[in-house]
Chain A
Amino acid sequence: MGKVLVVTSGKGGVGKTTTTAALGAALAQAGETVVVVDFDVGLRNLDLVMGAERRVVFDLINVIQGVAKLSQALIRDKRLETLWLLPASQTRDKDALTEEGVRQVIAELRERFDWVICDSPAGIERGAILAMRYADAAIIVTNPEVSSVRDSDRIIGMLDSKTERAENGSRIDKHLLITRYDAGRAQRGEMLSIDDVLEILSTPLLGIIPESQDVLRASNVGAPVTLANQLSGAGRAYAEAARRLQGESIAMTVPNQKRGLFDKLFGRRAA
């Protein structure tokens, strides 16, 4: 029986899709079987970030409506044998997602994979609720910035009330992933620090992903950042977060960006 994760945030643009792709690839690299599921119906992008946009034939909605079998809609990654993608529909509207349909698809995926990672749409509407509905654990992606932290707080409340686990009286595991972190700015008091965010959201930390040029570079070429540049700060931070998900305990380091002498002397920031 696999584990179902939802990657969620409330706010858009904080790195949910980047995180889904990066963690999925890192877990697959460690030998686990992984499926990443795009729940952003109408605005799918996980296929693009994974570099599989031209291989999409069937999607999640097709499977829910019985038009295609799950095995027809799953796309195997070209780089990693154990990594699969279930894309969202680009043409249907989000009402095509039904609670019962999602439940069945997730149940089937859970049988076949070690990890089912659901990439939630932004917002707190139907799509976001269904993405978290059957999850065992949630990764809350947060930028150290006021609107992102506020929306994360809201999403944490929903995880504790709108998921199947919450309704059954059990708990959903919550992990906070802080992305686009700039250690230098936090040190200068220009950005909320890790401690600030943790104190406000009181949710255990899964990892700290530094602001990094490599994230854009990776999405440009359609590769998860953990594959595109394993040595980059972001790549390493995601790989460590994936190992923590697997139960390893690794010291939480605040990844430092490498800054050249020129940047140190003249640049405000390297990222």
Chain B
Amino acid sequence: MNVFKFFRRGGSAPVARERLQILLAHERKASGQPDLLNILREEILAVVAKHISLDPDRVRISMDRGDPVSVLEVDIEIPNKFDMPKSGAA
């Protein structure tokens, strides 16, 4: 057992290398557009607010990056007494 272990000892570098490659692939994508989520948030808010009055603080947007797909989650809370369609400046 111990002799086996002795000869197979080490070999953690390939693991390090693979972990780094996966991690950095994601981080580089994210840093390409650091403000992507904020831009999405603003634009989605603007579109929704055209039709429904909403509280901008009750909007959550998150991006879950994964392999093979990433998930963009938009969570908008709408007050129960919403008026639809929005009329004028109200």
Which residues of A are interface residues toward B (Cβ below 8 A)? 145-146, 149-150, 153-154, 157, 185-186, 188-193, 196, 200
Contact = CB atoms under 8 A, between A and B. Distances in A.
Given A153-B28, A154-B27, A157-B31, A190 B12 contact: yes
B28 A192 contact: no
B10 to A, nearest CB: 4
Q: Give the most central of B9, B13, B23, B24: most A CB within 10 Å.
A: B13
B7 to A, nearest CB: 11
B13 A193 contact: yes
Given A150-B27, A191-B13, A200-B20, 18 more contacts: A145-B16, A146-B19, A150-B23, A150-B24, A153-B24, A153-B27, A154-B31, A157-B28, A157-B31, A185-B10, A188-B9, A188-B11, A190-B10, A192-B13, A192-B16, A196-B13, A200-B17, A200-B24
Nearest to A191: B13
Closest 6 CB pairs of A and B: A190-B10, A189-B11, A188-B10, A189-B10, A196-B17, A189-B13
A191 B17 CA distance: 9
B62 interface: no
A189 B14 contact: yes
11 contacts: A146-B19, A146-B20, A150-B23, A153-B28, A154-B27, A154-B31, A157-B31, A186-B13, A188-B10, A189-B13, A193-B13
Interface in B1-43: 9-14, 16-17, 19-21, 23-24, 27-28, 31
Contacts of B17: 192, 196, 200
Contacts of B31: 154, 157
A167 to B, nearest CB: 16
A149 B12 contact: no
Contacts of A186: 13
Contacts, number: 42
A154 B31 CA distance: 9
A193 B10 CA distance: 13
A149 B13 contact: no
Contacts of B16: 145-146, 192, 196
A17 to B, nearest CB: 25
Q: Give the most central of A145, A189, A190, A193: most B CB within 10 Å.
A: A189
Contacts of A192: 13, 16-17
Contacts of A145: 16
A150 B17 CA distance: 11
Contacts of B24: 150, 153, 200
B54 to A, nearest CB: 34
A146 B23 CA distance: 10
B13 A200 contact: no
Contacts of A200: 17, 20-21, 24
A188 B14 CA distance: 11
A149 B23 CA distance: 11
Nearest to A156: B28
Q: Give the most central of B9, B14, B24: most A CB within 10 Å.
A: B24
Contacts of A153: 24, 27-28
Contacts of A190: 10-13
B57 to A, nearest CB: 29
B27 A149 contact: no
A188 B10 CA distance: 6
